[in-house]
Structure 1
Amino acid sequence: MKNIWVICQKELRSYFVSPVAYILFIMFALIFGWFFWNMVGAFIFYSMESQMRGEMFPMNVNDQIVRQLLGNMNVVNLFFVPLMTMRLFAEEKRNGTIELLATSPIRDGEIILGKWLASVLLYAAMLFLTGLNFAFLFKYGNPDWKPMAVGYLGVLLQAAALLALGTFISTLTRNQIIAGTATFGVCLLIFVLGWVGGYQSGTWANVVTYISTTTHMDSFVKGVIDTKDAIYYLSAIFLGLFLTARSLESLRWRA
């Protein structure tokens, strides 16, 4: 456990020594803020319009803002996950330090968990800061915080699964650009599978839909923790880290 935390701290320092972490934080905050304030503006407009029409049922903040906003994180993650994982192992290979890791007494699992955990913690920190936007809702509205918390959990689980996949892809090349592009391509494919499954029927459609990470976000953004969706994300994390271990093991044998 100590080695995992040491490696995690090293990776976090690597993020913040370069401008990468700061750029990611700023971009993430701006994109999330843009989505948020556009949805708030639309919510206010339609609320006033419904009042003018004399409608009896007020619009729901959780349904109209929180759910849609967290649902949009499916798209945001497509771009940020590759940027966060492309350097994890590709940089080690480019600098020639991967051989030192491969021959070190530190176990592969500790190396992998340390690097992956660093990316998850960085993402969690970015996600945490977006909560400042929701402070506005609590000040001027009355949103239900429980569905919001569950939605955030779903976003974090999806990101953790994609980060595990990106960590694996980073072990396959020494070029960070290639690693990032490949991760984006695979994440995009998984994202599109949800759309494809929605236009098909039968067993094949069910399989394709299940593979997509986006379909498993639906229950979370509605404020419901579905066991099968949680198991899916945890299984995806395990698979990504397992593949990373096998890839790193092959490097150790070659070293």
Structure 2
Amino acid sequence: MMRGFVSVYRKELYLLFASPIFYAVAFIFLVLNGYFFYSSVAYYNLLSFQAGQNPFMAGQLNLMDMVVRPLFMDICIVLLLVAPLLTMRTYADERKTGTVELLFTLPVTDGGALAAKFLGVLTVLFVLLAGTLPGMALLEYLSDLNWKAVLCGYLGLFLLGSAFMALGVFTSSLSRNQIIAAVLSFGALLLFWVISWMSSVLGPGASRIIEYLSIIRHFDTFSKGVLDSRDVIYYLLFIAFFLFVTLRQIESYRWRG
């Protein structure tokens, strides 16, 4: 089932980390994260000075709510933008150059190749998120940080990013053009992001369904430091579904020759 996984995974890592797209995406991601981090800390610092003269206001200050949680939400937005760029080449480039046919002739199963490609982009996601940890270490140095809540937030970010990547790999399998794959991925992700906005104009039953489909609503509890199994299950099902339809799509290319 997973034959050829290691060789394809190593190839994917080489292509990802040798590509200038990765370094451009990583630079943009880390610069934006640094900007959001600085803005949140500067605002918190300003309120702290004001709270020095107002005891009631001092009791309302919370590092997690005013710095860490907004930072996590900002990272979600950046991931929404960069995920299509990281996944657009996974299958689109293979189909354009004709190497997808080569995969069919090698002792590599479709499932093994898909798992390797998906794990490749997840490795990049892990590296990007790890690049934000120095900011958390700085907060720990300056204050007493709730690491359980922080790690819960990072788990949510990884699951959310993995869901983004799974959908991006699927859209990449639909086209030979990387730009089209990226646009399809961004459009679909944005739809899952804003779909809950319709809940206010729908009936109670339909509203609950729409809110459950919202990909960002399930991150909300993670950002609060709360681990809810329902949110974990949602992301795992989301990832499994899009990997499944991607596999069916790739198998259809094999059948059609």
Under a length normalisation based on structure 2, what TM-score does the superposition of the two structures give? Answer: 0.95
Cα deviation for residue 59 of structure 1 reads 1.0
Q: Which of 63, 66, 89 matches 1:64?
A: 66
Whether the 8 Å contact between 2:90 and 2:172 is mirrored in structure 1 is yes
The answer for unaligned runs of 5 or more in structure 2 is none
CA distance in 2, matches of 1:139, 1:195: 39
CA distance in 1, matches of 2:48, 2:65: 13
Q: Which of 131, 134, 150 matches 2:133?
A: 131
The answer for unaligned runs of 5 or more in structure 1 is none
Match of 1:17 in 2: 18
The aligned amino acid for 2:205 is T
Residue 100 of structure 2 corresponds to residue 98 of structure 1? yes
Whether the 8 Å contact between 1:77 and 1:159 is mirrored in structure 2 is yes
Aligned positions, number: 255
Identical-pair percentage: 36
Match of 1:204 in 2: 206
Whether the 8 Å contact between 2:4 and 2:107 is mirrored in structure 1 is no
Post-superposition, which runs of at least 4 consecutive aligned residues in structure 1 deviate over 4 A?
198-201
Which residues in structure 2 correspond to 1:48-197 (within 5 Å)?
Answer: 48-55=49-56, 56-57=58-59, 59-197=61-199
Cα deviation for residue 198 of structure 1 reads 5.5
Cα deviation for residue 201 of structure 1 reads 5.0
Whether the 8 Å contact between 2:173 and 2:246 is mirrored in structure 1 is yes
Q: Which of 244, 247, 250 matches 2:246?
A: 244
CA distance in 1, matches of 2:74, 2:249: 32
CA distance in 1, matches of 2:227, 2:204: 26
CA distance in 2, matches of 1:83, 1:231: 26
Aligned-partner SS, 1:213: coil
Whether the 8 Å contact between 1:172 and 1:179 is mirrored in structure 2 is yes
CA distance in 2, matches of 1:7, 1:198: 46
Over the aligned positions, Cα root-mean-square deviation in angstroms equals 1.4
Aligned-partner SS, 1:187: helix
Cα deviation for residue 195 of structure 1 reads 2.8
CA distance in 1, matches of 2:216, 2:72: 11
CA distance in 2, matches of 1:5, 1:121: 14
The aligned amino acid for 1:110 is G
The aligned amino acid for 1:23 is A
Cα deviation for residue 129 of structure 1 reads 1.0
Whether the 8 Å contact between 2:5 and 2:108 is mirrored in structure 1 is no
Match of 2:29 in 1: 28
